[in-house]
Structure 1
Amino acid sequence: MSKVRNLASTIKHLKGESFKRAAVMIRDYGWGEFFHKLGTRIKYGPGTAVVNNNMYGGELAGESFVKNPSEHKGYQAEERVSFTFTPSVPNIGRIELLTQNRAGGGALEITVSKGDAVLLHAEVGGVAHDDYTAIDFLPICGVMGAALTVSLTCKNGCGVYVNRNKRRHGFSVDGGGSVGCRIYTVHNAEYLHWIANNTPTEKELNYQRARVFNYMPKISIVVPLYNTPEKFLRQMIESVQAQTYSNWELCLADGSTSSKNLGEIAHSYEDARILYRKLEENKGISGNSNEAIRMATGDYVALLDHDDLLMPHALYSYVELVNIDRDYEFMYSDEDKITEDGKYRFNPFFKPDFAPDTLHTFNYITHFSVFKKTLLDKIGGFEDRFNGAQDFDIILRATEKAKKIGHISDILYHWRISEGSTALASSAKSYTVEAGRSAVEAAYQRLGIKNAHVSSCQYPNYYITRYDLPDPKPLISIIIPNKDEKRTLENCITSITEKSTYPNYEIIIAENNSTEKEIFDYYAQLEQDSRIRIVRWDHPFNYSALNNYAASQAKGDLLLFLNNDISVISPDWLEQMAMHAMRPEIGQVGAKLYYPDNTIQHSGIVLKIGPVANHPHKFLSRFDIGYFGLLVAPHNVSSVTAACAMMRASVFREVGGFDETFTVAYNDVDLSLKVREKGYYILWTPFAELYHDESKTRGLETTPEKMERLDHETALWLSKWDKKYPYDPYYNINLTNEKLDYSVSPNKILKDRT
């Protein structure tokens, strides 16, 4: 997010309670601190503040702090203090207390409780004297609006400063007054819990070190060095040495132009597995990487940047995978970022399994990529013409040729943020944008796809591919089920006929048991248009059977299933969907649907959110970019809603249409999975935009009869698909199945690594 967008977002958030918090900050800290924090939000985004080099969210509304800790007039140190407060944020993970500790040996015991439940109990040393003592802890989540009590006991002569004569906003101190205190919400609380649950234990690491696989390949880790700071180089080397799988070599090709001898650092480790070569000249990132590959003698080649880090079980995880199936020729893992000093992990990217359309939109694979050496020999090394996106290009080439592609759903790689790093902002290296676009364009040329045109997106390093449609353009049959609801249907039809720029379509209205005269009068009016037909289905409502019948009457090469409570926004919506639906590898295409209040209703369907499936990103703003840009990026999904879904008529017939045992619910999810079973991909595009007044006609599942039917169809879907899809391949297993926001599942525990 650019600084301009961050400024706009920050100003937007400075209202209501946020404005009150800003006023409190100005009152107690002064304008200098306010502008410092405002600058931080502009640089990093409105949801963060950098405190002691850690990334936290904004402070709670109830701070009771002292501007100058050494000037605490009116405050006295006390051994026991208790206060209550009500957080206005989802979690807390840091408490700072103004303390006295003249002797230097004090300790502080802290308890945070909610009623009778103890949420945190800890004892800390290193108590500050006439300054704030910071207490960091695993975030306490789900506390917004809850009354919390903080009890403090000081030992060995230290104390917490309390002003008994002045009550500050936000805290209710037992006995009256205020306590010198600041409390912070933690920006990545769920991820910190995930880290706590999934960092390998020493027992697990020892097991891995002792394990002997049936297949023990050598892995060559190739690293191009270029003026690498000594600290970063040592940390990188030591993260490789810490690997629990020992059959590796580290190939360092040094193209540095500085006088510093990185070879001395490499040789100082006295490890025969560390290979160092000083290049005669700097050949650029691609050339230097190729020189490192030439040093490799392993069965597999892994790519590592010179300032990044590996988790100790990274190589072990890959070797475990290839022992399950030797056909894996290209593999990648999830990743996160670390601060420049290497202390804090944040911004995890839990990726989907291999998704070719997603990859053509942006390089979601990035790190940690491992290639079978024979595959790398086949596709060739890095190419200079893609410098800046050389890893994107080689990943595209590898995925095109690999026998099998593997994804390890675990954080194995830490990407360091620093000035000038694309991990922090792609604008730091703007030339990467055009290099990436050229890499995608070259991929289409290799694949023999001549009707694809690649352009840069408004978001750096994201790309839009537009496909030419055949000439003449295929007929699209728009199928709209309807019962009464004249005004709703009229709004839908009018938006199609008045806004759509696509010239060749027919509209089939599947009439089902209407009773109102006005709807039949409207039908008569519509039938004056040669593009519109009314077909009647005089049976009890069954969404699947109704659409199957209408589809049997359709003349088009493309079928578009559309609810009657849809209205068109983007004039080229049919072109945007048809260009993908005509591609032979695509079986179904979904659109971007909004509620009337411009919040997201549909951006694809994720399996296993709820008992069956649900819509991710639901209720986000129309203008939000979503999880790693997915709301602005065409990408592969497991399913799309039949409220607006397009597919070739031949594919619809091939899969047998809608399963009529699903009368109302989950028939669209079932259809999508039948399409996938035939080997087709399903794609969602953000460039076909429509409004959807969801369930206006059918209503919600509130009556006993409807709830019983929903339970039956849920059980039916689970019996058919649950075992085949233990997880959604396009939605990482480490993401929540309880919410719709792509947040990390804090309680997720990956398999025991022993």
Structure 2
Amino acid sequence: MSKFRLTELLIKSLFTGLRNHLTKNKGTDLYFAFNQQSSLAEMLRLSQEENFDKEVHIIIPTKDKAYLLEKCVKSIIKFSSGWKLRITIVDNGSEEPETFILLSRLKGDFPFIDVMRDGRPFNYSQLNNVAFKKVNAEISIFLNNDVEIFSAGWLEDVTGLLKHELIAVVGQKLIYPDGSIQHFGVKLGQGLVAGHPFQGSSIRNINLSQALEAPIEVSAVTGACLAIKSSIFRTVGGFDENLPVGYNDVDLCMSIRNLGLKIVLAPKIRAIHHESQTRGKIRSFSQIRRAIYDTLYMIYKHGSSLQKDPFIRKC
């Protein structure tokens, strides 16, 4: 066995032992933040005091595909016991009768669910910005209607990280229904702007720091499941509405990092992402033209910052 491999196994064993030990002590949380500029890991111990109320506001844009939305909302409720939830569903021009039946039922059964009707042409940034005006909670979560949560304690993990004064955004590991990775952080410089470096890979291909399920700092995370301090979202002016479809999440994260704050991925949190099942894949000429515009806009706005990712160096 090589010296490097032995060291790797020893580090993994040490961190696993520490985590297991602390887990047995009620009320104790241990998170790891990985310094991607070196091969060493630094431990980040977060305060045990509650700095946030147990309240979050979740915003979900949707259009038809009632079966996806129902899975999404049911998973939130199932895995958010003990939390004060406010869910705003933004209906962007649904037409299918089953969607209206579901929205009416959800609103009737759960007093914490609101439904906003917004039939304007699809603009993800605008839909979320308008819905955000109703937010009073300290933490907001932007969630796609095709994401299904299946992590107990996911909100505890999100808020635990957001307690840290330098952490502004927390993203989650998203997997496809077949178990392969859809999102494990966003890498700048992949393609002309940014991309998902591990997309389609098996969980087993993730390296040591990620295998530990430890929070890692990244340049950006997907808006499909993005938790943020509401005050920071207001400070940066929300999503850039000049980016109605693509890269609005990357742009948001880059604007936040320009403030000296951190974007963190929490691999411990798992969710299934039935990606693009509502809007579909890019096929039409107008969609292609839109994607080209989004790319050129990002290059114009962020320039050389897009060329090299400071965190994800190898994938």
Fold match, TM over 0.5?
A: yes
**Cα displacement (A) at 1:671:** 0.5
Partner residue in 1 for 2:94: 514
Partner residue in 1 for 2:35: none
**Cα displacement (A) at 1:538:** 2.7
**Cα displacement (A) at 1:569:** 1.2
Distance (whole Å) between structure 2 residues aligned to residue 487 and residue 670 of structure 1: 30
The code of the aligned residue for 1:721 comes to: H
Distance (whole Å) between structure 2 residues aligned to residue 626 and residue 427 of structure 1: 14
> Are the counterparts in 2 of residues 592 and 688 from structure 1 also a CA contact under 8 Å?
yes
**Cα displacement (A) at 1:431:** 12
Q: 5 Å matches for 1:353-752?
A: 417=2, 421=3, 423-426=4-7, 433=14, 453-454=29-30, 468=48, 470=50, 473-528=53-108, 529-622=110-203, 624=204, 626-631=206-211, 632-732=213-313, 735=314, 742=315
> Are the counterparts in 1 of residues 107 and 113 from structure 2 also a CA contact under 8 Å?
yes
Which has more radius of gyration? Answer: 1
**Cα displacement (A) at 1:502:** 4.7
Q: Secondary structure at the residue paired with 1:580?
A: helix
The code of the aligned residue for 2:287 comes to: K
Evaluate the alpha carbon distance shift between residue 655 and residue 427 of structure 1 in structure 2; reply closer, same or farther with a 3 A threshold.
closer
Distance (whole Å) between structure 1 residues aligned to residue 299 and residue 158 of structure 2: 30
Distance (whole Å) between structure 2 residues aligned to residue 429 and residue 561 of structure 1: 38
Unaligned stretches of 5+ residues in structure 1 = 1-43, 45-416, 442-450, 736-741, 743-754
Query: After superposition, what is the alpha-carbon deviation per residue over 1:213-256, rounded to whole angstroms, capped at 9, x for unaligned?
Result: xxxxxxxxxxxxxxxxxxxxxxxxxxxxxxxxxxxxxxxxxxxx
Evaluate the alpha carbon distance shift between residue 550 and residue 455 of structure 1 in structure 2; reply closer, same or farther with a 3 A threshold.
closer
Distance (whole Å) between structure 2 residues aligned to residue 609 and residue 467 of structure 1: 36
**Cα displacement (A) at 1:541:** 0.8
Evaluate the alpha carbon distance shift between residue 679 and residue 452 of structure 1 in structure 2; reply closer, same or farther with a 3 A threshold.
farther
The answer to which structure, 1 or 2, has the higher relative contact order (CA under 8 A, 6+ apart) is: 2
Evaluate the alpha carbon distance shift between residue 462 and residue 527 of structure 1 in structure 2; reply closer, same or farther with a 3 A threshold.
same
Distance (whole Å) between structure 2 residues aligned to residue 554 and residue 509 of structure 1: 13
The code of the aligned residue for 1:716 comes to: Y
Distance (whole Å) between structure 1 residues aligned to residue 136 and residue 160 of structure 2: 19
Query: After superposition, what is the alpha-carbon deviation per residue over 1:326-380, rounded to whole angstroms, capped at 9, x for unaligned?
Result: xxxxxxxxxxxxxxxxxxxxxxxxxxxxxxxxxxxxxxxxxxxxxxxxxxxxxxx
Distance (whole Å) between structure 2 residues aligned to residue 428 and residue 644 of structure 1: 32
Distance (whole Å) between structure 2 residues aligned to residue 465 and residue 506 of structure 1: 29
Q: 5 Å matches for 1:181-200?
A: none
**Cα displacement (A) at 1:467:** 5.3
Evaluate the alpha carbon distance shift between residue 502 and residue 706 of structure 1 in structure 2; reply closer, same or farther with a 3 A threshold.
farther
Evaluate the alpha carbon distance shift between residue 454 and residue 496 of structure 1 in structure 2; reply closer, same or farther with a 3 A threshold.
closer
**Cα displacement (A) at 1:501:** 3.2
Higher normalized helix content (fraction of residues): 2
Q: Secondary structure at the residue paired with 1:723?
A: helix
Provide the alpha-carbon RMSD of the alignment.
2.8
Q: 5 Å matches for 1:80-479?
A: 417=2, 421=3, 423-426=4-7, 433=14, 453-454=29-30, 468=48, 470=50, 473-479=53-59
Query: After superposition, what is the alpha-carbon deviation per residue over 1:520-564, rounded to whole angstroms, capped at 9, x for unaligned?
Result: 221111112111111222311100000000111122110100000
**Cα displacement (A) at 1:629:** 2.9
**Cα displacement (A) at 1:430:** 8.0
Evaluate the alpha carbon distance shift between residue 507 and residue 603 of structure 1 in structure 2; reply closer, same or farther with a 3 A threshold.
same
Q: Secondary structure at the residue paired with 1:659?
A: coil
Query: After superposition, what is the alpha-carbon deviation per residue over 1:699-743, rounded to whole angstroms, capped at 9, x for unaligned?
Result: 1111111001100111111111122343111133xx4xxxxxx1x
Evaluate the alpha carbon distance shift between residue 502 and residue 673 of structure 1 in structure 2; reply closer, same or farther with a 3 A threshold.
farther
Evaluate the alpha carbon distance shift between residue 472 and residue 714 of structure 1 in structure 2; reply closer, same or farther with a 3 A threshold.
closer
The code of the aligned residue for 1:644 comes to: C
**Cα displacement (A) at 1:427:** 8.0
Distance (whole Å) between structure 2 residues aligned to residue 486 and residue 431 of structure 1: 43
Unaligned stretches of 5+ residues in structure 2 = 33-40
Evaluate the alpha carbon distance shift between residue 674 and residue 430 of structure 1 in structure 2; reply closer, same or farther with a 3 A threshold.
closer
**Cα displacement (A) at 1:498:** 1.9
Q: Secondary structure at the residue paired with 2:151?
A: coil
The code of the aligned residue for 2:96 comes to: E
> Are the counterparts in 2 of residues 512 and 536 from structure 1 also a CA contact under 8 Å?
yes
**Cα displacement (A) at 1:608:** 0.7
Paired residues in the alignment total: 298
